[in-house]
């Protein structure tokens, strides 16, 4: 029974307070409405200002990216030119350095062919090697 009494006492004290809370009304005046309108106008002006700043920054960023891409294309062109030059020089140098060796080989082969006319065993060896 005692818990029932405590609960009843609790509700008895709380019920009048809830009635007072509902009675208190928050006044909303024309000044409050005007203040809200001014705040909205300031927020809209700030939004427009931020949008213009963001657009400016975006255009600057696009310009920087364009510069970066142009620079990268220049680097790729330089690297490609260097690689083609190095390979071209290597092939040219190899061909140039092997030309005297080929001439020496041809002279040696001609000398062996001339000598093989008098030596039948050498002629047979050159014939088997496919040099005659």
Please give the average pLDDT of every successive group of 10 residues along the chain, which has 132 residues: 75 67 70 92 94 92 95 97 95 86 85 84 84 73
Q: What is the pLDDT of residue 11?
A: 72
Tokens of 15: 């019920």
Q: Is 130 left (phi over 0), alpha (psi -120 to 50) or beta?
A: left
pLDDT per residue as tens digits for the range 32-44 = 889 999 999 999 9
Q: What is the pLDDT of residue 23?
A: 61
DSSP letters spanning 35-53: HHHHHHHHHHHHHHHHHHH
Classified as helix, coil or strand, 117 is coil
- Report long-range pairs for 111-116 (Cβ below 8 Å, ≥24 apart): none
Mean pLDDT of the residues in the chain: 86
Listed by start position, the domains of the chain span 33-129
Among positive and negative, which fits the CA dihedral 24, 25, 31, 32?
positive
């Amino acid at each position: 029974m005692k818990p029932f009494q405590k609960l009843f006492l609790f509700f008895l004290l709380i019920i009048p307070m809830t009635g007072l809370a509902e009675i208190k009304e928050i006044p909303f005046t024309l000044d409050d409405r005007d203040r809200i309108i001014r705040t909205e106008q300031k927020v809209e002006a700030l939004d427009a200002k931020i949008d213009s700043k963001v657009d400016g920054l975006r255009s600057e960023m696009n310009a920087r990216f364009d510069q970066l891409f142009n620079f990268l294309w220049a680097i790729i062109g330089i690297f490609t030119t260097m690689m083609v030059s190095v390979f071209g020089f290597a092939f040219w140098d190899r061909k140039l350095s092997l030309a005297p060796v080929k001439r020496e080989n041809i002279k040696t082969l001609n000398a062996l062919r001339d000598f093989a006319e008098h030596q039948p065993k050498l002629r047979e060896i050159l014939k088997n090697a496919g040099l005659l």
